[in-house]
A and B are shown apart, each in its own frame.
Chain A
Amino acid sequence: MSEETINMEGAVCAPPLTHNEQIVMGHGAGGRMSHRLIQQAFLPAFQNPALNAGDDAALVEPGLKQKLSISTDAHVVSPLFFPGGDIGKLAVCGTVNDVAMLGAKPLYLTAGFILEEGLSMDTLKQVIESMKQAADEAGVQIVAGDTKVVQKGKADGLYITTAGIGLIRDGVSVSGANAKVGDVVILSGTIGDHGIAVLGARGELGFQSSIQSDVAPLNHMIEAMLDASPNIHVLRDPTRGGLATTLNEIAAQSNIGVVLNEDSIPVHPEVNAACEMLGFDALYVANEGKLICFVPREDADKVLAAMKSTKYGEGAVIIGEVAEEPKGRVLLKTALGSTRVVDMLAGEMLPRIC
C-alpha cells in the first residue's frame, strides 16, 4: 500500500480524503490512521532508537545494572464508569501493562489529571479509590501527579494521563520485533469484552448485556510466564484496534507472517452476538486485560500452563503460529477451510448499516 500523499491528476470519482489537514476521530482509533499520524507528525521530530523501536513501551539503558521500561498512556473514556471498571482502573492498568510488555516489573507510576469544572468530588474520589486498588493489585506506587482544571465543557468530566517505569528482567529480550518462524501465538483469553462493555454502558447496544470489561493488570501473569520460559519473544496487549491490529503491528515489526486459526480464537458468546447485531468484527474490538505472546513452540506448553495458573490467564489458548510468508501480514484460516488476510483497522470502527 502506498503511504504517499495522493495526487490524482484530473478529476476522480471523489476527492481522496487523507485527513492530513486536521485531526479527525480516526486518528485516535489505534489503527492505520493513528500509525500514519505517528509516522508523519511525531517520529520525524522526536526520533531516537528507543522511540523508533515502535513498541508500546520504550527500552532505555541509562547506565544502571538493569534496563528500564518506560511508557505513558492518556485515558479518555465515556462513560467514566462501565461494567468491570472505570477510567481510574484503566489509567493504572494501561500503563502497568505497557511497561510490563517488555518483560519488565513495573514499579512506579505518575498520574496527570485534567478535571472539568463541575465534576463531582464523589466521582473523583471513586476514581482515585479505583486507581489505588488497581495499583495495589499490580504492586506499583503512584509517586507523583499533577492536576489541572479546565472550564465546563472543555473536557468530558475527567481525563487521566499516567506514565510508568519498570525494571526489565535480566536475560530476557521481549519486543514486537522479535517474532520468529517456529513461534506459536498465545492469547490470554476472550477478545472484545472491553469494547462491547463500554458500548453497552453508553446505551449504544439497544439491548441488555452482562459483558464486563476485562481491564486488569497483567504484570503478575507476565512474571509467571517469564519464570516458565525466558525465551518469550513478544508480549503485547491488543488494546485499541483489537487483536487484528496488534498482530499486524507485530507482523510488520518482525517482518514475518502470522497465521491464525479462526476456530481457536475465543470470543464470549455475548460479545459475538453484539458484534453480529451491530456489524462489528470482534477481531477489531478493544481489550484492556488480554495479552498476546509469541514463544518458540517447544516452550509453549510451559508458558500456557503458567498463564492458566494466574487469575487473568485462565482462558489462554494457542491461536496460531508464525510463518515465513506473507511477510508483514496476518492470515486467518477460516472455519470453512479457506484462508483470508486479516488487515489492520483503518480508521474509526464503524457499525455496518444492515
Chain B
Amino acid sequence: MKYVTEYRDAALVKGVIEEIRRTVTRPWTLMEICGGQTHAIVRHGIDQLLPPQIELVHGPGCPVCVTPLELIDKALSIAARPDVIFCSYGDMLRVPGSNRDLFSVKAQGGDVRVVYSPLDAVNLAQQNPDKQVVFFAIGFETTAPPNVMSVLQAQRLGLKNFSILVSHVRVPPAMSAILSSPHNRVQGFLLAGHVNAVMGYWEYPPLVEKFKIPMVVTGFEPLDIVQGILKTVQLLEEGKVEVANAYQRAVTLEGLKPAQAAINKVFMECDRKWRGIGMIPMSGWCLRPEFDEFNAEKRFDVEAIQAEESPLCIAGEILQGLKKPHHCSAFGKQCTPENPLGATMVSSEGACAAYYRYGRMLTTEHTENAEI
C-alpha cells in the first residue's frame, strides 16, 4: 500500500534504530502524546527494539479515554430518548458512564449508531426529519475539522434536527499541564503528527521556550516513529531545545489554514475536564454561542448532569505518563477490554488497551501485586 508499506520496511526501521543506539549516551524519558502512536509502538513492538536508555511513556492523547464521565452520562441520557438517533465514533460505545454504556442503551431500545464521519450523521438528519439526530463530537484537533463541518453543513441545509454533543480537547494545554506537574519526568515530546497536520506546529515554540524541552513532530508508521525518536534523542544529546519536524510529508509549520478557520468559526476555547486528570484550563473547544441551536447539551437540557470519578482507577496517572498500565493491580484481571474499569482500557488508542491487546499482560501476571 503506497505511503504505508514503505514506512513499515523492517530494514529501514532497523537502520534508524541503529542510529538511535549510536546516538544515545544516557537515559532519556520521552512521551508520545498521541494514543494512535502508543498503539503503533506497542503493536509493532518498537519499544522492545529501542536501546534500554530510552523509555517511552504514554501521553493523554486518546480522546475516548479523556472524555469526562459526566459527558458520557449526558450522552447516555440523550441516546436513551425515543425521539433521538444518537451517532458516535465506534469506540465510544464501550466507554462506561456512571452506571451503563451506549451498548446498554442500545440493547434497551435506544437508537445508537456507529458512524465513520459526522457528515454521515448530517445525512441521517436529512433522511429522518421526524427524529433528532445527535453526533457525539469528541476528539483532539484531528477530528475537529469534520466535526465543525457537520455543523456548518447542517446550518447550510437549514436542518433543525441536528446537534452535536461536544467534548473536544486540545493538545498544547495538556502538554503544558503535564510539564507543569512537580512529578513530571518527561524530557522530550513526540508531537502528534495528525494533530499537527491540521494545526501546524506554530503553537509549540512557546511551550518549548517555557519548559525548555525539545519537541518533534512525529508520524504514525513505524519508520515515522523511530525517526521522531531519533530526532528527539539527537536534540537531547546535543542539548538543543527546539521544535523539529520529522513528519514533513504531512505537516507544515502553519498547518491547514482553511481547517483552522472553520474550527475558529464554530468553536471557541473553553475549560475542559479530562477523565482521570481533572480540569485543565482552556484545554477544550466548545460551540460558540451563535451555534447554540446545534448544541445538544442545550437542546436536551442535560447541562445539569454531574458525575464524580472514583479515586481507585489509576487511568489518570497512566494518561499523565506517571504510571504504566501494568502498575495497576486490576489490569488484565478485573479490568479487560470487554470489562473496562477505566477509559484507558476502553479505547483502542488507550494505553491499557494497547498493552493488553499486544500482550504486555504476560509480564503483568508476575507484577500484579506490585504496589502502585
Contacts and interface: CB of A to CB of B under 8 A. Distances in A.
B348 A279 contact: yes
Interface residues of A, number: 51
Interface in A220-276: 269, 272-273, 276
A14 to B, nearest CB: 4
A346 interface: yes
B49 A352 contact: no
B10 A335 contact: yes
Interface of B: 1, 4, 8, 10, 13-14, 36, 42-46, 48-49, 63-64, 69, 89-101, 103-104, 106-108, 114, 116-117, 138-140, 142-143, 194, 222, 275-276, 308-313, 315, 332-343, 347-349, 356-362
B42 A350 contact: no
A222 to B, nearest CB: 32
Nearest to B344: A13
B44 A353 contact: no
Nearest to A11: B310
A24 B109 CA distance: 11
Contacts of A337: 10, 14, 45, 49
Most chain B CB atoms below 10 A, which of A338, A348, A353: A353
Dominant secondary structure at the A interface: loop
A105 interface: no
A247 B336 CA distance: 19
B362 A13 contact: no
A10 B312 contact: yes
A338 B360 CA distance: 13
Contacts of A347: 94, 103, 337-338
Contacts of A19: 103-104
A129 B217 CA distance: 57
Contact of A341 (B63, B108, B117, B359): B359
A313 interface: no
20 contacts: A11-B308, A13-B275, A13-B276, A14-B313, A15-B99, A16-B96, A17-B339, A24-B107, A25-B106, A204-B116, A335-B44, A336-B13, A341-B359, A341-B361, A347-B94, A348-B93, A348-B103, A352-B90, A353-B64, A353-B349
Contacts of B142: 354
B335 to A, nearest CB: 8
Contacts of B313: 12-14
B312 A8 contact: yes
A48 interface: no
